[in-house]
Amino acid sequence: MSRFKLRACLGVAAALALPAYLFAAPGAPNPPDRKSDSETEKADGGKFQPFKADSVSSSGTVTIGGQAISYQAIAGTLIVHPKDWDDVPRDPKTDKNPGAGDEGEGKNPTAEASMFYVAYFKNGGGTRPVTFVYNGGPGSATVWLHMGAFGPRRIVTATDAHTPAAPYSLTNNAASLLDATDLVFIDAPGTGFSRIAGKDKEKAFFGVDQDAYAFAEFISQFLSKYGRWNSPKYLFGESYGTPRSAVLINQLQSDRAIDFNGVILLSQILNFDLSPDRPTGNPGIDLPYQTVLPTYAATAWYHKKLPGERKELEPLLAEVEKFALGDYARALAAGSDLSAADRRSIADRLHQYTGLPVEYILKADLRIDGGEFRQNLQDDAGLTTGRLDTRFSGPDIDPLSQRADYDPQSTALGSAYVSGFNEYVRKDLHYGEGKSFKHSIQTFGTWNFQHSQPGQNQRPGSARQGSNVMPDLANAMKINPNLKIQLNAGYFDLATPFYQGVYEMHHLPIPASLQANIEYKFYDSGHMVYAKDSSLKLLHDNVAGFIRRTSNLGN
């Protein structure tokens, strides 16, 4: 029986919780910039100077499936503005909108973003699909998908261990998607070579809705600049890129009348309240503990921490999923009414599925968050388990910590990706001279999580409350009932657990008939499923097949 069919047979439960931080790709966020460099704040005598779009072209060849594909690469920037901007010129002496009144505060704020992209166009491709690709964070550049998954050149890293220091190896990427689609890799405002400037620039671009609007502006401009309005169109987002995709696809289709053929989601989280990061901050809401349990089981299985012998992973996961939304859900819902005997019985079951000691599970009140699991799974060996990819392990920083202090997968791969891209973009794409590349930026504390759901005039909650963008994706599917969705997830992802994504999809507020528009693909890898060679090949085949089936090109 397929993984999807196994899950489709399971019962459901409901609850919510809140993460303290989100899901950046490898590499700890950079500290906030204390001073603006010349690229970020352009000034002339203290006056704001608008960004200017630029681009540089190069060419190359990639071999995929034994076939050489020649392409043109364009690295450059497009300039976008916030939602309430208009093109009424300002007085260059006062930097004010003449029609805005004494305060100069009208619909023409000076904040703007210069968004960096690398586009790859197959030579002689004719009418081809075009796929817009981005990572997440929020605050991450798109170096990870570019250099690890789908660009024509790929960085070589270790499978589940720390990659040795430079020199790093760049190689032909036989899993590039250029055989199926043209590609546009986009850095979010402020990340990579993208820059923001002007008054209240963080407020203008650092937020769920603000970010999606900037991407919608970028895509609209790109379609015009390169004449791709009539191409089959796709979004591909990873991690925070998946909620971005949900909000973005709804904006593109409902506000701009730009229908897309498909949305491809990798390592999904649409409802932030389901995150396994610190759900203890939302007592009484237990669903995060349930949807993360299959990932705990997969991780314990991988590290041989389960009592007894379990040869096959997938039968184990099916069993754990049933328990998570069955007996475990009922036990958690009982709260203090759960008897001591039933509490110990559930703790014994959790021990069988997580490898953690029964007494520890009881002390945790049957509720273990992601950081606690990672700190304690390999405690006997003095090892911390990875977050983005639990196959990775590293030495404990503080063996007495309640939760893990760092992510071994991030530190294992980050340098290779950042170094490899800096080498590639400057030498092969001929872009970036005199510019610094920001693989991640610090957005915690400035990111606005308030979100206007479709049909709602008010934004619920405070600026740091978790958002739920499931209604956005649902609305996009309803207004375009031909829109197809592909969910890709790794079994060893503890940042965005695979079963959480399945649960979200099964609870989208859409007609039952539209559930057939969603397909599910799973991998024995982590958050960056492409960090494992065999999973990368499978990811390519799944995504390329999805695009070919849904492009309306008859191929």
The pairing of beta strand 47-48 with beta strand 43-44: antiparallel
Beta bridge partners of 195: 114
Could you state, in order of their start, the residue ranges of all structural domains in the chain? Answer: 3-22+280-409, 52-273+421-550
Separation of alpha carbons 353 and 347, rounded Å: 10
Q: What residues contact 418, with CB distance under 8 A and at least 6 apart?
A: 27, 143, 437, 439
Q: Which residue has the tokens 């990875």?
A: 386
Dist. CA 541–CA 536, nearest whole Å: 9
Beta-bridge partner residues of 487 = 265, 520
Q: CA–CA separation, 346 vs 403, rounded Å?
A: 23
Q: Per-residue pLDDT for the chain (555 aa), expressed as one digit of tens each?
A: 344 333 333 332 333 233 333 455 554 333 333 333 444 444 344 456 789 999 999 999 999 999 999 999 999 999 999 987 766 555 444 555 444 443 344 444 579 999 999 999 999 877 899 999 999 999 999 999 999 999 999 999 988 889 999 999 999 999 999 999 999 999 999 999 999 999 889 999 999 999 999 999 999 999 999 999 999 999 999 999 999 999 999 999 999 999 999 999 999 999 999 999 988 788 889 999 999 999 999 999 999 999 988 999 999 999 999 999 999 999 999 999 999 999 999 999 999 999 999 999 999 999 999 999 999 999 999 999 999 999 999 999 999 999 999 888 889 899 999 999 999 999 999 999 999 999 999 998 899 998 988 877 655 544 444 589 999 999 999 999 999 999 999 999 999 999 999 999 999 999 999 999 999 999 999 999 999 999 999 999 999 999 999 999 876
Identify which of 364, 360, 366, 362 has the alpha carbon closest to the alpha carbon of residue 380: 360
Q: CA 353 to CA 39: how far, in whole Å? A: 51
The 10s digit of each residue's pLDDT in 275-306 is 999 887 888 899 999 999 999 999 999 999 99
In CATH, what is the architecture of 52-273+421-550?
Answer: 3-Layer(aba) Sandwich (3.40)
Q: How far apart are the first and last CA of the chain?
A: 29
pTM above 0.85, yes or no: yes
